[in-house]
Amino acid sequence: MLRWSAAVIALCSIGIAAAIAQTVPATAAKRLAVVNGEIVTEEQVKGLAAKDLENLELHKLQSDAGFERDQHTIVERSLQSIVEDKLIQAEAKKRGVTPQALISSEIDSKVTPPSNLEINAFYETNKARISVTGDEAMRQIKAYLTEQKRDEVFEAYVETWIRNTRSKPTWNRCSRRWQRRDFLPKDRLRLP
């Protein structure tokens, strides 16, 4: 009996509060300012600011998405670097050489320096973005193109080595999410 009366009182209280809320005039809205006797309400301010607040929220969502994308890219690049280092160390150990000796024999020795034609073509294509001139520009372009070629040879070597080994670390390049099969326990690494 007490439970019923408590429930009835609670329902009546809710009903009365709802009725009072509906009968309160709009002037009882939260006042933010009074100018020459005229009240400026929170509703008026929010109404005027709605479009700007919506744009701000959209900007925040875009920034958050960009941050998450950049964070994922950094984690992915770091994982790839660790994987490559471990593969080089394993192959060097298998061959009985140091990792640096392996890199020197399998990668550095296969990098051909860029020709003057390649250097000049790069300069002509990018001269608006190059801030130095003359020999210094050509030296920097040569170093840049050499490093690009070295990266290509390195990536090709790692890909070939991965294809020819039993314990193949693989990743799904379409979704840009790493998948670990034989070489990393699935519960050890969590990517965003």
Cβ proximity of 145 and 115 under 8 Å? no
Cβ proximity of 143 and 136 under 8 Å? no
Distance separating alpha carbons of residues 180 and 83, to the nearest angstrom: 11
pLDDT on residue 74: 94
pTM recorded for the entire structure = 0.52
Q: Residue 159 above 90 pLDDT?
A: no
pLDDT on residue 84: 87
- CA dist 85 → 27, 63, 121, 135, 192 (Å): 70, 33, 34, 35, 23
For 106, other C-beta atoms within 10 Å of its C-beta total: 20
pLDDT on residue 160: 85
Question: 98: which DSSP letter?
Answer: -
Provide mean pLDDT across the span 5-25. Answer: 47
38-94 pLDDT, tens digit per residue, is 999 999 999 999 999 999 999 999 999 999 999 999 999 999 889 889 888 988 999
pLDDT on residue 163: 79
Distance separating alpha carbons of residues 9 and 7, to the nearest angstrom: 5
Which residue in the block uniquely carries the two structure tokens 């210094």? 136
